[in-house]
């Protein structure tokens, strides 16, 4: 039997800000101040990215295999939930708290810099430790920093990584493997992902335009998002998680959104809710032609076209392995705030070839308090996750 699971605390770090208050303020303003034109990451020109401008905490006193920007972002998020974690440790013990997080880059940026140094000098720098690139490095770092001794691991399923972490965390608690889970995701900017998506012709020439007839690709962003999932403590519940793997194509989504439809329906079924019970959907909304077409069809199929929707990627970029947790976190902030939606930032040029979703504008509010929010994450290989949270 499913237990009542609550998201009792959340910390967000992304292009909108380095704490929840700044993120929420800039989210409601529809701010795009976090986008910048980067001249270093792309081999063949400049590219817009959504980076974290905040000065990050130093890791100079930590073991060198944890020296990465990814872990600096993680530490900034950890600091904001540290007190809540201490309370959880006092309640259940450090061995009953798991860490399950998602990433797609880990410390690859540091690996890239080390390889450049090797090409110049013939050897890797003394301070470089290969372990910084390992996917497990993120979860290991968070567990070490919070002195947690429960189950610890990292999920890496591309853009659904940290959304999938919520499903795994739910299963762990339901099956008695732990009582509390630190759930989330962290991804930092690096040349590999920027050049890789550019090679796939999936990056935007400017700032991305989700759902627009002019959309031409993504802006890659970076973020950290961590939360505490536990039984019977908090006000916002994890209501349902749906996941599917349609494996339609290595990188392209199923054109009719079959996997996305399955994931959304599963989330509703697990929550014992109907489509009309959902107040707001945070779209995966990458601003790539195929994703936005597929998602519009899938959402219209399950929910119709009246439910309020938006993509946050027009403000924070696509934060890859951190995207799922980040956008669930935005929904968490909205539910705490009351009746405001996250706006859909785009050029307002309607694509007549796809279903016309109810894309909310800056300042739009619900006629009643938001109660249920859904967040979608769709990844390469047809790995789809929909997470439903609410009061």
What residues are labeled active site? 159, 284, 318
Report CA dihedral (360, 206, 323, 242) to the nearest 10 degrees.
60
Name beta bridge partners: 97: 180
The span from the CA of 70 to the CA of 319, in Å, is: 12
Residue 291 · residue 318 · CB < 8 Å: no
Q: Which residue has the tokens 């951190």?
A: 322
Sorted by sequence, the CB contacts under 8 Å of residue 202 that are 6+ apart come out as 217, 218, 288
Structure tokens at 217: 């690709």
The span from the CA of 87 to the CA of 75, in Å, is: 18
Q: Alpha-carbon torsion 38, 42, 48, 49, what sign?
A: negative
Q: Which residue has the tokens 């007549």?
A: 352
The span from the CA of 107 to the CA of 70, in Å, is: 6
């Amino acid at each position: 039997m499913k237990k009542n699971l609550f998201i009792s605390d959340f910390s967000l770090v992304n292009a909108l800000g380095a704490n929840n208050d700044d993120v929420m303020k800039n989210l409601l303003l529809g701010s795009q101040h976090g986008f910048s034109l980067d001249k270093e990451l792309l081999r063949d020109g400049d590219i817009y990215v959504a980076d974290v401008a905040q000065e990050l905490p130093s890791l100079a006193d930590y073991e060198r295999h944890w020296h990465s920007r990814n872990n600096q972002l993680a530490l900034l998020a950890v600091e904001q939930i540290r007190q809540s974690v201490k309370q959880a440790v006092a309640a259940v013990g450090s061995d009953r708290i798991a860490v399950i997080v998602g990433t797609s880059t880990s410390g690859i940026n540091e690996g890239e810099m080390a390889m450049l140094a090797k090409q110049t000098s013939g050897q890797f720098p003394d301070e470089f430790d290969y372990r910084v690139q390992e996917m497990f490095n993120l979860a290991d770092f968070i567990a070490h920093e919070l002195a947690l001794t429960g189950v610890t691991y990292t999920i890496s399923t591309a853009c659904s990584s940290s959304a999938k972490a919520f499903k795994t965390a739910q299963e762990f608690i339901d099956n008695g493997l732990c009582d509390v889970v630190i759930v989330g995701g962290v991804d930092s900017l690096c040349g590999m992902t920027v050049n890789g998506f550019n090679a796939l012709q999936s990056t935007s020439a400017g700032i991305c335009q989700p759902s627009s007839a002019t959309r031409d690709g993504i802006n890659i962003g970076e973020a950290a998002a961590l939360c505490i999932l536990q039984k019977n403590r908090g006000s916002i519940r994890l209501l349902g998680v749906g996941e599917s793997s349609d494996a339609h194509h290595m990188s392209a989504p199923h054109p009719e959104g079959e996997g996305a439809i399955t994931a959304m329906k599963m989330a509703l079924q697990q929550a014992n809710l109907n489509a009309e019970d959902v107040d707001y959907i945070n779209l995966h909304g990458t601003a790539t032609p195929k994703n936005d077409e597929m998602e519009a069809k899938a959402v219209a199929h399950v929910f119709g076209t009246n439910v309020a929707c938006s993509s946050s990627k027009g403000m924070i970029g696509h934060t890859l392995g951190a995207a799922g947790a980040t956008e669930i976190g935005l929904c968490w902030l909205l539910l705490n705030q009351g009746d405001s939606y996250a706006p859909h930032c785009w050029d307002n040029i309607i694509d007549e070839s796809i279903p016309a979703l109810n894309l909310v504008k800056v300042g739009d509010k619900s006629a009643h308090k938001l109660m249920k929010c859904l967040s979608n994450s769709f990844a390469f290989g047809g790995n789809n996750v929909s997470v439903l949270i609410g009061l």
